[in-house]
Amino acid sequence: MRRTLTIVLTAIALTVSNMASAQLAWRETNREVTGRSLTDPKLTDGIEIYGYNGTITIKTTRRITVRVFTILGQSVSQATLNPGTSELKIGTRGIYIVKIGNLTQKVAL
């Protein structure tokens, strides 16, 4: 049992470290975001976060600094985004934590 757990945790750590080392870049898009926002823009100063099909999308009305982490706390991306809609294509399924100022949101991809 202990050996199996060690093997599983090692495999997860290798997968996460490979993903974290990949170059992930935010890109601005003019695409209209559809679907359900994970955040209420009325309560979050106009910031909306969407997670769908391996992509985290953030729609904002002001310049923001965003940080994305794995559920294990490893940094995936950190960037300053301009007003508008920006996307981060992660491509790996999982649960991610998005931090923007005092706002913290869980995103499942």
Model confidence at 12, pLDDT cuts 50, 70, 90, reads low
How far is Cα 93 from Cα 36, in angstroms, rounded to an integer?
A: 19
What would the pLDDT profile of 37-72 be if each residue is shown by its tens digit?
777 666 677 899 999 889 999 999 999 999 999 999
Per the CB < 8 A criterion, the answer to whether 55 and 90 are in contact is yes
pLDDT of residue 80: 95
Nearest alpha-carbon partner for 77 in 61, 66, 64: 66
- Specify the DSSP class assigned to residue 61: S
Q: Whole-prediction pTM value?
A: 0.71
pLDDT exceeds cutoff 90 at 106? yes
- Domain map (residue ranges) of the chain: 23-108
Overall fold of domain 23-108: Immunoglobulin-like (2.60.40)
Model confidence at 21, pLDDT cuts 50, 70, 90, reads very low
